[in-house]
Amino acid sequence: MQLEEQEFIKATDEAVYQALTDLTHYNDWNPWVIDCPEGLVDEGKLTEVTVKLGKKTMKVKHKIVTLQPNSRFVWCDTGWFTLFAFGQRERTIEPWEGGVNYQVTLKVTGVLAFLAQWLYKKDLIVGLRAESQALKRYCEEKSHHQ
C-alpha cells in the first residue's frame, strides 16, 4: 500500500522543515499526534509518539531514517509488528514560486500489509490529509506573523 498527499505551502523550505523536525511541538499543529516528548532529531534516533488513528490512541515508535535539511525527512515504524507490516513515511519539500511543494508518502509493505490496509487505510488517508493541511495552516500562519 502506498498513500500520498501533497500541499502547496506559502512558507520557506526552512520553515516547513523546522516544523516537521520539531517533534516536541507536533501536538501544536498535527491532529495525528497527541504527544511526542522527544525534541531532537538525528538519523538513527528512536522516538515514541502517541498518535490518534481513527478512534484508537496508541504509542508508536519510529526510527529517523533520513534527514536532509530543508528538503527531506523520513522515518519508519519499529517494533515486533514490522516483521509483518512495515511502514515508512517520507516527507519532501521542494522550493517553488512563493513557497514550497510538500509531499508525504506512506508506504506499508510486508506479508500482512494487506491486513493493515484493510484495517487502517481509511484512517490513514484521512490522517495524512489532515496532517498535510494542518502543516500548511501552521507554517503559513507562522510565516504571516513574521
Which DSSP string corresponds to 60-117? Answer: EEEEEEEEETTTEEEEEE-SGGGGT-EEEEEEEEEEETTEEEEEEEEEEESTTHHHHH
Residues 100 and 94 sit within 8 Å (Cβ to Cβ)? yes
- Residue 134: give its domain's CATH number: 3.30.530.20
**Per-residue confidence in pLDDT tens, the chain, 146 aa:** 999 999 999 999 999 999 999 988 888 898 888 888 766 688 998 888 888 877 888 888 889 999 999 999 999 988 877 788 899 999 999 999 999 999 999 999 999 999 888 988 998 999 999 999 999 999 999 877 66
Domain extent for 96 = 2-145
For residue 98, give the nearest of 7, 11, 2, 39 by alpha carbon.
Answer: 11
Q: How many CB atoms lie within 10 A of CB 5?
A: 19
pLDDT digit string (tens) for 103-114?
999 999 999 999
What pLDDT does 54 receive?
Answer: 77
pTM here is 0.89
- Looking at the structure of the chain, the number of domains it has is 1
Length of the chain: 146
